[in-house]
Amino acid sequence: MIARIVAGEPHLFHDLIRPYERRVYAMALSFLHNEADAEDAAQDAFLKAFRNLAGFRGESQFGTWLISITLNEARSRLRRTKAAPMTSLDLDPDEPGAVSPALLRDWREIPSQALERQEVRVLLQEAIAALPENYRTVFLLRDVDELGTNEAAAVLNITVASLKVRLHRARMMLQKSLAPSLKHLNPTRRWFQWL
């Protein structure tokens, strides 16, 4: 299919990337933590893949190559964001006369399990975000995006042994940071047995 696209059938590109759309977006979102930025990064990753498709050598799987482009795009956006911090133009909501729209919520009673799941999800997202980048990336590729060991190592351009060591360390860091919070959240549940 790639050869046909390069040879002049660009309409096939969407069929080529369709199986990877969700994975690319999820990877961008896990780095950028903003849906709009993740959508932009995913779109730019697909555009870069299209523009450079003729340069794809087939040394790795297409999905691995596409995830590499996505990681580079997300990292690039993070660097640009950190280099040029933006200041909000909105008024401070605590200032007199400032009006902010009310957040409408469903006031029906929410089951306690749903609340616990939400709290655990937030704790997990914060713990993952706090990991050093090289460990966070490995954890996201292997345990969130469920890439194979060889494929994740190829995306990161590291050895399989290095990937396994980083993944083990990432899981240990997560367990160490999450165990006290999860035990405090509901001491009778064994939240961290899966870490």
- CATH number of the domain encompassing residue 50: 1.10.1740.10
Residues 32 and 77: beta-carbon distance below 8 Å: yes
Domain boundary among 39, 65, 83: 83
Specify if 179 maps to a domain. Answer: yes
Q: Is the pLDDT of residue 193 over 60?
A: no
**Category of 33 on φ-ψ map: left (φ > 0), alpha (ψ -120 to 50) or beta:** left
Specify if 103 maps to a domain. Answer: no
Confidence of residue 164 (pLDDT cuts 50, 70, 90): very high
Integer Cα distance of 192 and 176 in angstroms: 10
Q: Specify the pTM.
A: 0.54
Specify if 163 maps to a domain. Answer: yes
Q: Is the pLDDT of residue 190 over 60?
A: no
Specify if 13 maps to a domain. Answer: yes
Confidence of residue 88 (pLDDT cuts 50, 70, 90): low
Our count of domains for the chain comes to 2
In a shared domain, residues 9 and 79? yes
In a shared domain, residues 158 and 119? yes
| Span 78-92, average pLDDT | 61
State the pLDDT at residue 45: 92
Specify if 174 maps to a domain. Answer: yes
Q: How many residues in the chain?
A: 195
Give 192's DSSP letter: G
| Span 100-112, average pLDDT | 48
Specify if 104 maps to a domain. Answer: no
Q: What is the CATH number of the domain that holds 152?
A: 1.10.10.10
Please report, for residues 20, 24, 65, 126, 156, the alpha-carbon distance to residue 139 in angstroms, rounded to integers and kept in the order given.
19, 16, 18, 14, 12
State the pLDDT at residue 162: 92
In a shared domain, residues 64 and 135? no
In a shared domain, residues 74 and 129? no
Write out pLDDT tens, residues 111-129.
555 556 677 778 888 888 8
Specify if 119 maps to a domain. Answer: yes
From 175, 170, 120, 122, select the one nearest 142 (Cα to Cα): 170
Residues 58 and 154: beta-carbon distance below 8 Å: no
Supply the range of the domain harboring residue 157: 112-194
In a shared domain, residues 78 and 122? no
Q: Is the pLDDT of residue 41 over 80?
A: yes
